[in-house]
Structure 1
Amino acid sequence: MPRSSSFSSVAEPKTQWLEVILLWIAGVSAAMQFAKFSISFDTLLSHYDMGATSTGAALSAVGLAGLIFGVSAGMIASRVGYLKVLVGALLLGGTLSLIQSRLPSFDFLLITRLLEGFSQLGVVVTAPTLIAKLSAPQHRSLTMGLWGTFFGVAFAVSGWIGKGLLDNLGLQAVFLGHSLLIFTMGIVLFFMLRKHPVLNLLPVTGTQAGFLTQMLQVYRNPRSLLPSCVFLFYTFTLVSVLTYVPSLVGNASLTAWMLIVLPLVSTCGTFLAGAIAQYVMKPQRVALLAYSGVAVGISCAFVMSGTAWIFFMAIGVVVLCLGMVSGSSLAMIPILARSPNEQAQSYGLLAQFGNLGGTIGPPAFATAIATYGLSGLVVLVLCVCVCGVSFSVLSGRIQTAS
């Protein structure tokens, strides 16, 4: 089945690879707003002494803005200007990280995390839009696949460089380093794109219905809703697994490796799912098999939890399959959507549900682990798999019915 185009028929004749890569790095820097709190979770827990659930809420608070404004964010960006929103979001993120490097009170820290959500949302709405317009048609799937890896890469880089900063220079250095990175990306992209012709090719939306009306229309459309539901349980689980599982392995050396390796494994899963969905089977079936793999992996991890290396490998399978869920969810949208407008709405809803999962997942997993240990984590992941498989099956039926 041919893929739908998300944008107008005017396309860049050649892929602008430098700009695409810089926009991808901007996405990585935005995802580090989650990752920097993930790698420093234990240090934050010790410094603020607020308990695992409260600290988990600080980790996930970034997702609240996307949770509320995800569907309408694209419309707002098209009216204000994609470059203005992108650069403003990056500079806001840099300012908030700079404030966090002062280690303010926990209540003020939580406020900065809520505001970071607007920074993160601004980047994830505008950067992929610009990447798509900077890509030639024959490269668009490749560049959007590259974009899909930004979250996993952010965690991998944070686990590598950020953990080194944390161990050698402390918590303040982690936040300050992130501030410098995200500030730099905002400045570089402003000067690189401010006169770029791509900004003249982006569509501007016409008169839109009210916010609640738009929301109801999107939620009632199963072609938009079901891929987002599949994606929801991926984000609900991945951030929590990357945050909490390494400390459960019981081996300091393996814990350090897990912080670096697991995000990369997730990224590989995203690429793998895209390739399988392109050449082998429908993305809905890929998602179904991926959630089944998560269930098998977490069950093996529970059974072999006493052997650190086998536990590590089983969790690797879990994270690989979670990455495949992400890739298959993104691949469902152009197949199920019937128009460019419906496709754009689907991506907005995907961002909203992704933030919902990222918001409620860490506190839920923190509470389950604090109360029941590894057993609590396993039961919660298995419940996630049941929901993910169910929505994957429903998505397949929608395509058949269409």
Structure 2
Amino acid sequence: MQTRWGAIFALWFAGLCAAGQFSKVGVIFQELAAIWPEAGTRLGLVVSVVGAVGIVFGTTAGLIVARAGARRIIIGALVAGAGLSALQCLGLPLGLMIASRVAEGFAHLAIVVAGPVLIAGAAAPRDQAAAMTLWSTFFGLAFAVTAFFGLPFAQAHGASALWAVHAGLMLVAAALLAVVLPRETILPAPPLQPGTVLRDHLAIYASPRIAAPALGFVFYTMIFVAALTLVPGLVEPRLRGLTAAVMPLLSIASSLGLGVQFTRRIGAVRTAQIGFAVGALAAAGWAVTSGVAQVGAAFLLSAGLGFVQGASFAAIPELNDTPASRAQAAGAIAQLGNVGTTLGTPLLLALTAAMGPQAIAAFSLPLCLGGIAMHLWLSRRRARA
């Protein structure tokens, strides 16, 4: 089998568009207050409600993709996402905007569940680590691109103009995938019913193969988004800009660089464990340093977590060899990933209020060790099975 890199890059572009559903409001959050001055604390829902959909329905989405076909789901979700972005350009009142964001959450979830399944199927075994690691960068890169290009564009032309561009990009992604992805053969499967869904959820999380990528990934997401949000504010003021700019880029670079090489040579699970070990070392370093050295510890934390980021997605095809099980694993990653990103920042914020900068070490070190222990336990279960 030859790797279809054209399809993989088109799918990655679709992932960037899906992450844009977060970044198109997260990056311009301050500007949104002028659009809905009456919103108060409800304005946060415009950002967070998209992820809440993944918490509730992430694994269910994996079950639906396994039954309906990943190609059909992702193209439909991109078209729906484009329509919702276009609708948001019309200047919706806050209640309707939040409702449209809930609908957008379902489109986002469909893309991030179907994408890994299709990428794994488009990559030859020797290239799966690189392809899945590339996919794993879509979230951080979308935020960086939106901050660099989208924020000044929105400040010059308004939020609606940015959302119109996003709608157009999603339609381009849908058209690309319609061309480059081959049609699927959908095998018959029993319809989803409440009892079936519960049974399938229990089976997914009981499986040391299907659940393993997600059960490790949740430790990563708890730390990563919280650290990107809060660490720059805890270093010396002269170093804050550098820290905020370098941390996400270093994570992407380590994932695509050494992370891919490690995954190819020693496997995705061991690479994730190495990443958590580097993160634990960085957390300990943060606790005993200050100034420039503490920024170095933050950079090391980002680099280590970059290993975990790529390896977690590479573990989907490494541990699961059928499209159905890969869809279920991707759904579990979406579900637990959203749990981590939703809970991590408020927990670290509360800990920081109580402990100051030392909260970074107190928060990150146990989670890194927990990620290592989780993968050790699941590896032993797979060995016994």
Scaled by the length of structure 2, what TM-score is found?
A: 0.82
User: Which amino acid is the alignment partner of residue 207 of structure 1?
Assistant: P
Q: 1:24 aligns with which of 2, 12, 16?
A: 12
Return the alpha-carbon distance in structure 2 between the equivalents of residues 71 and 235 of structure 1.
Answer: 17
SS at match of 2:209: helix
State whether structure 2 residue 277 is matched by structure 1 residue 289: no
3-state SS of the aligned residue for 1:199? coil
Q: Describe how 1:285-364 pairs up with structure 2 within 5 A.
A: 285-301=270-286, 304=289, 307=291, 309-337=292-320, 341-364=324-347
Q: Aligned with 1:222: secondary structure?
A: coil
Which of 24, 49, 73 is matched with 1:85 structurally? 73
Q: How does 1:378-389 map to 2 (within 5 A)?
A: 378-389=361-372
CA offset digits 1:248-299 (Å, max 9, x no partner) = 44648852x55553332222232333321321x4544433332232233244
Which residue of 48, 71, 82 maps to 1:94?
82
- Code of the residue aligned with 1:152 in structure 2: it is G
1:211 CA displacement: 0.8
Using the TM superposition, name which of 144-153 and 91-100 deviates more: 91-100
1:176-202 per-residue CA deviation (whole Å, 9 max, x = no partner) reads 433332233224433x25xx6x214x4
Q: How far apart in 1 are the matches of 2:358 and 2:39? A: 20
For 2:183, the equivalent position in structure 1 comes to 199
* Corresponding residue for residue 165 of structure 2: 177
Q: CA deviation at 1:31?
A: 1.4
2:209 alignment partner AA: R
How many equivalent residue pairs?
Answer: 381
TM-superposed deviation, 1:30: 0.5
Identity rate of aligned residues, in percent?
31
1:276 aligns with 2:262: yes
Q: 1:137 to 1:286 in 2, by over 3 A?
A: closer
The CA RMSD measured in Å over matched residues stands at 3.5
Aligned to 2:110, what secondary structure does the other structure show? helix
Q: Which amino acid aligns with 1:268?
A: A
* 8 Å contact kept, 1:78–1:204: no
* Matched AA of 2:252: T
Shift in alpha-carbon separation, 1:174–1:33, aligned structure 2, 3 A: same
> Which residue does the alignment assign to 1:245?
231
Partner residue in 1 for 2:59: 71
For residues 398 and 379 of structure 1, what CA distance do their matches in structure 2 show?
A: 29
Partner secondary structure for residue 223 of structure 1 = coil
Change (3 A) 1:395 1:332: farther
Measured after TM superposition, the shift of residue 29 of structure 1 is 1.1
CA pair 283-126 structure 1, distance change in 2 beyond 3 A:
closer
Aligned partners of 2:156 and 2:248: how far apart in 1? 22
How far off its partner does 1:90 sit?
Answer: 1.5
Q: Is the 8 A contact 2:276 2:368 kept in 1?
A: yes
3-state SS of 1:29 partner: helix
- Name the CA distance, whole Å, in 1 between partners of 2:334 and 2:172: 25
Task: Specify the code of the residue in structure 1 equivalent to 2:172.
Answer: T
Q: Distance in 1 between matches of 2:317 and 2:75?
A: 28
Q: Quote the residue 2:117 is aligned against.
A: 129
1:115 aligns with 2:103: yes
Equivalent position of 1:3 in the other structure: none
How far residue 118 of structure 1 moved from its aligned partner, in angstroms, is 0.8
Pick closer, same or farther for the CA change 1:322–1:140 going to 2, 3 Å. closer
1:230–1:391 CA contact under 8 A, matched in 2: yes
> Partners in 2 of 1:87 and 1:334 — Cα distance?
22
AA at the equivalent of 1:382? L
* Structure 1 residue 320 displacement after superposition: 1.4
1:3-42 map, 5 Å? 13-42=1-30
Distance (Å, rounded) in 2 between the aligned partners of 1:70 and 1:93: 17
Distance 2:345 2:44 in 1: 5
| Distance in 2 (alpha carbons) for counterparts of 1:338 and 1:326 | 20
Amino acid at match of 2:376: V
The 5-angstrom pairing of residues 56-67 of structure 1 reads: 58-67=46-55
Residue type of the partner of 1:214?
D
